[in-house]
Amino acid sequence: MVLRASPGLLDLATSQQMNETVSSSQDMDMVGVGAEDAYDVNLQVAGVFIIMAASVLGMGLSYAFGSDAQAPSNGLLYLSLQMLKGCGVGVIIATALIHLIGEAYEPFEDAGMSEIYEQWPMVFAMVGMFLMAILEFVHHRLEFRSRHYVASAAEVEHPDATLPAEGMPAEVTLNPLQGDGAHHESDKEVVTKSVASKQRSAILVELSILIHSVLIGFDLGLQTKSQWVPLVIAITFHQFFEGFAVGQIVLDAKFGFWKKFAMTAFYSLTTSVGIAIGIATYLGQK
């Protein structure tokens, strides 16, 4: 007796087999996507040292070239230093305008605040710029008053001294024919005031950079492999050019060796510390 399968049963078996094949293919695709977008601890640890090396290299090259104030204004070195400093400042501005402000929209949307007003990130960005402008204005006014006081005292003691105009560096030029100990003391006091002002500015710049460096590193430490690669490339260039600009500011402030070393160490390590915090946070949640 020969048993024959009906065409309906054959079609059903064929359909089930095709469904299983498609399902297994989809599962393999999902596994591939998951492997590509997985969290890679080894890459994250490598990122710690990559960012650290880029930061040290940027500030180290700045120290090697020296301050642009000491280079001839019509020379190639001066032009190169100005271009690199400009790149550093541009990187800082681009980070705020492209990276930070753009990503700030999502938290406001998740919190439901975008239903009230969509441009909250720009509002806070403008408030931050306004507050920084006020702090900068107050700082420059206090600096000018301090310089003007010292320059006025020098004018009383030495009428032949050339005093600076408002907004110009407080450098007093004394008559060399009348040089004595008092002249040198007054000139030294003016230079000390100018250097102290530059040192305060350098410390403020360093502190503001350290704060956002921790946040950037923390964000990088939470990224999966697909997001990590482009982000670490961008942050590496960011740290290099920003480090060069910070190095020029530190040189202009005329810090001693140990203060210069401390500022370099803080700048080079802060982003990496943020990455380490991000790694620990991800592994802790997992």
In what helix (H) or strand (E) does residue 32 lie, and over which residues does it extend?
helix 7-36
Whether the CA torsion 4, 6, 9, 11 is positive or negative: it is: positive
Give the phi and the psi of residue 162 in degrees, each rounded to 5.
-95, 115
The first and second tokens of residue 238, run together, are 């960011």
The CA-to-CA distance between both ends of the chain, in Å, stands at 62
Instruction: Report CA 248 to chain centroid distance, whole Å.
Output: 15
Three-state secondary-structure class, residue 9: helix
pLDDT for residue 269: 92
pLDDT for residue 274: 92
pLDDT for residue 156: 52
pLDDT for residue 9: 47
Residues with Cβ within 8 Å of 172's Cβ and at least 6 positions away in sequence, in order, are 151, 154, 158, 161, 162, 163, 164, 186, 187, 190
User: Which segments of the chain have a pLDDT < 50?
Assistant: 1-3, 5, 9-10, 12-13, 22, 25, 27-33, 161, 163, 165-179, 182-183
Rg (CA), the chain: 30
Q: What is the pTM of this model?
A: 0.62
Q: Is 286 exposed, middle or buried (CB count within 10 Å of its CB: 0-12, 13-18, 19+)?
A: exposed
pLDDT for residue 86: 79
The first and second tokens of residue 167, run together, are 């907004």
Residues with Cβ within 8 Å of 169's Cβ and at least 6 positions away in sequence, in order, are 147, 194
pLDDT for residue 10: 44
